[in-house]
Amino acid sequence: MEERLLVILPHPDDESFGAAGLIALKRKANVPVTYACCTLGEMGRSMGKPLIANRETLKDIRKKELEQVAKILNINDLRMLGYRDKTLEFEDEEKLADHFEQIIREVKPTLLVTFYPGYAVHPDHNACGEAVIRAVKRLKREERPTVYCIAFSNDRFEHIGEPDVEIDISEVADIKIQALKAHRSQTYSIVEKIEEGGKDLPQFQQFFHKETFWIYPFDDEK
Amino acid sequence: MKPIDPIRVQKIIDSFLHKEVYIHLETTTGAYTSHHNQNSMTIVAFVRNAKITFSQGKIKGTGPYRVGLKTEEGWVYAEGLTDYTVDEQNRLLMAGHDRDGKLAIALQISETPFS
Ligand SMILES: [Zn+2]
């Protein structure tokens, strides 16, 4: 079966923090990548320094940043799903899962990246992951993609153990930095730190050298 | 956005007096506050497109500023406002930003609903 990656995450920049390395590596290997981004992060708190955005202009600014990042990561198919930042968990879970199911059935990914429900800190992250899992469960076992989950809650290790997948992304680290920088309205303070100390600061080791994922354990597959 | 000039902002607030207006009122500590520091709580609230009419509206303080709008049956209040702008749709956008340019509070007034 032809390899195909589908990424479903709620905010522009989630992909750059969590999976830019994986996406860049897959594109290098000529694997088609679809990114479905649920919201435009229009309720984000960072407005730039000096201020470049306000609550009403942030949406369009982040949309442009996301389109730029899709080019940097060479994503073939970028979809903006039009939900509102901070409201995903209040949508009808079944309808949200219907929407994701429709995308999954159309794209037919072999690999799907989303957030690990319950271990992804932001309510939108958890709600997105939960609905993606709900959608994948509706597929027949043999139709299901492998699901790589991003988890970063402080209690993740005690509940879901160590990550199942660790990917060396050193060869695409520069692309990941470019992607993070392109989300300028949100990442200026991190970019400042990266530029001061370079990407070899201990706190960025993880960031630019490896990405880790948990493979979602579907109960009925055990 | 630019730093609040209270005299100008007062005039703009007055221009909305006795009209039916839409309010966006928001405050946020950021969604990651308690993730980064378990001793602090994540607090976020927003109301978008509440329709009100106010008979009195004032900006007070020496900066950051407070704005209070007296409505028919209650009040709208925001404290910590530092910057403002009137956008091309004639909406008054006021916000309070911390030193890193992060929004902590917003109060916006418009004659048409916010999208
Ligand atoms: Zn996010």
A198 pLDDT higher than 70: no
Nearest residue to A166 (alpha-carbon basis) of A202, A203, A213, A206: A213
| Cross-chain residue pair A154–B38, CB shorter than 8 Å | yes
Nearest chain B CA: its distance from A129 CA (Å):
17
Average pLDDT over residues B57-65: 97
Nearest-CB residue to A55 (from B24, B35, B44)? B24
Residues of A in contact with B30 (CB under 8 A): 45
Nearest residue to A7 (alpha-carbon basis) of A52, A73, A61: A73
pLDDT in tens, A41-53: 999 999 988 899 9
Which pair of structure tokens corresponds to residue A43?
A: 């309720």
Average pLDDT over residues A165-175: 96
User: How far is CA B2 from its chain centroid?
Assistant: 14
> Domain of B19: which CATH number?
2.70.180.10
Alpha carbon distance B68, B94 (integer Å): 13
| Cross-chain residue pair A122–B32, CB shorter than 8 Å | yes
* Residue of chain A whose alpha carbon sits nearest to that of B110: A56
Nearest-CB residue to B32 (from A51, A55, A121)? A121
pLDDT over 70 percentage in chain A:
96
Burial class of residue B112, CB neighbours in 10 A (0-12, 13-18, 19+): exposed
Alpha carbon distance A217, A211 (integer Å): 19
CA A14 to centroid of ligand 1, rounded, Å? 5
Alpha carbon distance B93, B106 (integer Å): 7
Domain tally for chain B?
1
Average pLDDT over residues A59-64: 98
What pLDDT shows up at residue A203? 67
What pLDDT shows up at residue A195? 79
Q: Which residues of A105-143 are buried (b: 16+ CB within 10 A; e: fewer)?
A: eebebebbbbbbbbbbbbbbbbbbbbbbbbbbeeeeeee
Asked if the structure places residue B115 within a domain, the reply is no
Average pLDDT over residues A201-205: 70
Residue A13, φ and ψ in degrees, nearest 5? 105, -20
* Residue of chain A whose alpha carbon sits nearest to that of B99: A49
Question: B-contacting residues of A 83-142, CB under 8 Å?
Answer: 86, 121-123
Asked if the structure places residue B77 within a domain, the reply is yes
Nearest residue to A109 (alpha-carbon basis) of A57, A145, A77: A145
> Domain of A72: which CATH number?
3.40.50.10320
DSSP states of A168-211 as a string?
E-GGGHHHHHHHHHHSHHHHHHHHHHHHHH-TTSHHHHHHHHEE
Domain tally for chain A?
1
Domain coverage including residue A113? 5-221
CA distances from A199 to A178, A179, A202 (A): 12, 14, 8
Average pLDDT over residues B71-89: 97
* Cβ atoms of residues A54 and A47 within 8 Å: yes
pLDDT in tens, A126-160: 999 999 999 999 999 999 999 999 999 999 999 99
Mutate to test the interface with B, among A11, A51, A87, A89 (most CBs of B within 10 A): A51
pTM for the model stands at 0.93
Average pLDDT over residues B42-50: 96
Asked if the structure places residue B65 within a domain, the reply is yes
Domain coverage including residue B72? 2-110
What pLDDT shows up at residue A200? 67
Alpha carbon distance B21, B41 (integer Å): 32
Average pLDDT over residues A182-196: 87
What pLDDT shows up at residue A127? 98
